[in-house]
Structure formats: C-alpha cells, structure tokens
Amino acid sequence: MRRIKPVVQKELRSYFNSPIAFIVVVFFLMFTAAWNFLVQQFIVMNTASFRPYFGIMPVVFIVLIPAITMRSWAEERKAGTEEILLTLPFSESEVVLGKFFASVLLLAVMILLTIPVPLSLSPLGYFEAGQIFTEYIGIFLLGCTGIALGQFISSLSRNQIASFIFSALALMVLTLIGTVIRFMPLPGWASSLFHYISLEYHFESFKKGILDSRDLLFFLLLTSFFIYLNVKVIIFRKWK
C-alpha cells in the first residue's frame, strides 16, 4: 500500500489541478438534488423514502464516471508520459491500483457530500437509517465498478474523447440493459442473462435496503475483473 500511495497522490493532484473534479462534483450534487426536489417533488411526495434520489444516481454515473476516468491512461498515452510512469519502480498492478484508488477517493468525496440531503430531510418523517446506509453502500460499489470499467477502456484508448464516449456507451449498456429487455420478446435464458449482467438490476436490492451477498459479490468480482484486464493491457503494451 505504501508503494501505491505516490501514484494516488499524483492522480489526485492531476484531478484537482484541473477543473474536471470540481465540475464533476458540483454537477453531481446539483443534478441529483434538482431531481429529488424539482422532478420527484420530494417535499409533496408524502413518502419517507430516498429511493428516487438514489435511483437516479446510476444513470448520472453513465456520464460522470467516464468524465473521471477518461484521463487515466488515454492522457498519459497521448502526452507520452505513460512510458516514463511505467519505468518508475512500481509494478504495473501498483500503478493501475493507484489510479483506481485515486478515482475511488474522488467518488467517495462526491458521495459523502450528498449526506446533508438525507440529514436535513430526516426530521420530516421516519426514515429507515439502515436502508439509507445500504443505498450508500450500493451506489459506492456501483461507482467503483464503473471506475474500473472506465479506466480499462481508457487504457485501450488513444485520446480522452474516445475514452469518454466508449466508457459512457459501455456503462449505458451495462446499466440499462435490464430495463430495455423488458420491452423486447426474448427467450427466458436470454432475459435472465441480460438481467444478471445489468448493473441497475444488482443495485435494485441495495435501493430497497437489502444487503444481498450475491449482489455484493457481483460488484466486487466485476470491479476486480476490469482491474485485472487493465493490468494485462498495460503489461502487454509495455512489452510489445
């Protein structure tokens, strides 16, 4: 972990030395709040639940997560600093994990800054603290999976724009495929498969306040899988 720390610090400096981190955080907070209060009209909804508030976050992540990850490897490759980074006394896995944890820290800041919303509204009704906590766990795990996917795609891309577009498309498919197939006549096995790979489908139990070990394992395994692929891409490019 000590060897990963310098990479994390470097990545965090690159985030906050540009306006991207501030734009992403401010947009996330403003859009989700506007959705909760203006679109869903939480005050007049007369329901003690934050499910609509957390329910829109996976859709917002389709745009925001690629904005966070698009620079991770594509910018290094374009600027020619990738070779320098990989000649430093770090293994490929340490560099990949350093970039991943830096993005996860930014994600954690985004999520933590939403806490004043449920805190300020809790006096208006009886809210299940356990459900809100589970919703936070779910949105964090989903964001981590999106970051691992986005950084993997960034490692395959030559520029930030391509990384952003393909990451957004991949996240859109993985997030919304479970919803889309409801309107398509598919065989039972195909419908079950598409539901299983849907990020939103596995987030649904967290949104209901249910901590299902199967959904927890799904997000952890998928995140680890994309990190593994990212490491393999970097190793291949280093030695080709």
Who wins on pLDDT, 64 or 6?
64
User: What mean pLDDT do residues 175-201 have?
Assistant: 75
Who wins on pLDDT, 215 or 189?
215
- In percent, the amount of the chain with pLDDT more than 90 equals 42
> Binning pLDDT at 50, 70 and 90, where does residue 172 land?
very high
Rounded to 5 degrees, what angle do the CA atoms 170, 203, 98 make? Answer: 60
Cα distance between residue 121 and residue 125, in whole Å: 8
Helices and strands in the chain: count of H runs, count of E runs: 14, 0
Every domain of the chain and the residues it spans: 5-239
> Binning pLDDT at 50, 70 and 90, where does residue 148 land?
very high
pLDDT in tens, 56-100: 899 999 999 999 999 888 877 776 666 666 677 778 888 899 999
Residue 70, both tokens: 């698009």
Who wins on pLDDT, 144 or 4?
144
User: What mean pLDDT do residues 206-234 have?
Assistant: 93
Cα distance between residue 89 and residue 6, in whole Å: 11
User: What mean pLDDT do residues 121-138 have?
Assistant: 82
Among 35-49, 67-81, 126-140, 224-238, which stretch is predicted with the lowest mean pLDDT?
Answer: 35-49
Is 70 exceeded by the pLDDT of residue 171? yes
Identify the top-confidence range among 73-87, 108-122, 183-197: 108-122
Kindly tell me the burial class for residue 125, based on how many C-beta atoms sit within 10 Å of its own C-beta (0-12, 13-18, 19 or more): exposed
The pLDDT assigned to 118 comes to 85
